[in-house]
Structure 1
Amino acid sequence: MNLPDLISAFVKAENDYEIDAYVACFTPDAVVFDEGKNHQGRNQIKTWKEETNEKYHTVMEPIEYSGYDDMGKLSAMISGTFEGSPILFSFQFKFADGLIQSLKITN
């Protein structure tokens, strides 16, 4: 699948458990919404990602991507140590300055 460079970097960092590379995909004041909670700023995003990596040990397999300049949507099969694995998740992105400004993760 041909993904934009930023999304490819995001997926690679996710699957390689590279927390710093993952966080570098986001603007300094970015917001991630996951499991009913907002995580704002790179420090909170880093803490959230460390916790979810430890808890779920996820692997992301991109299925479909659509988007334009400031928005994108990635559908990906996520497997890990959680009930119902694997599950198809939707990652809705808003971009600013070539980075992720917001990310909403739903299933």
Structure 2
Amino acid sequence: MTAPPPGFAHLPKVVQTYLDAHARGDAPAAAECFTPAAVVIDDGSTYRGREQIRDWVNRSSTEYTYTTTPTAAVQRGPNNWTVNQRVEGNFPGGIVDLAYRFTIDDAGITALDINPA
């Protein structure tokens, strides 16, 4: 077994739970990691609230076949984490390195901004 990428040992549980749920395509479980008023920005679109986030996870998990490989996790502040992942699949370009920028509070993920790393 290989060691986790740098920073993953200290990743907040809610972030790890979201990443695991999204990777297995479990949109309801992934959406539950977010607060009711959370915002996700991905690929130029904004999704607000758990219902829109659940729909986004469902669509993004099924639109293409892909794998994610975590490469690093860095705490940027008391409530901010950046998780870098390599995504490989049958989407245009086939490989992309993405930075997932999470903002969290005691209730869950309040914001997620996904951009090329």
* TM-score between the two structures when normalised by the length of structure 2: 0.83
Answer whether contact 2:15 2:109 (CA < 8 A) is retained. Answer: no
Q: How far is 1:5 from its partner?
A: 1.7
Supply the distance in 2 between the matched residues of 1:13 and 1:4 (Cα, whole angstroms).
14
Supply the distance in 1 between the matched residues of 2:43 and 2:58 (Cα, whole angstroms).
15
Indicate the SS of the match to 1:104. Answer: strand
Ranges in structure 1 where 5+ consecutive residues have no aligned partner: none
Answer whether contact 2:42 2:113 (CA < 8 A) is retained. Answer: yes
Q: Report the aligned-residue RMSD.
A: 1.4
Bigger radius of gyration: 2
Q: Give matches, 1:1-107, under 5 Å.
A: 1=4, 2=9, 3-67=11-75, 68-107=77-116
Supply the distance in 1 between the matched residues of 2:12 and 2:114 (Cα, whole angstroms).
18
- The total of aligned residue pairs comes to 107
* TM-score between the two structures when normalised by the length of structure 1: 0.90
Q: Percent identity?
A: 26
Indicate the SS of the match to 1:56. Answer: coil
Q: How far is 1:15 from its partner?
A: 1.4
Indicate the SS of the match to 2:63. Answer: helix
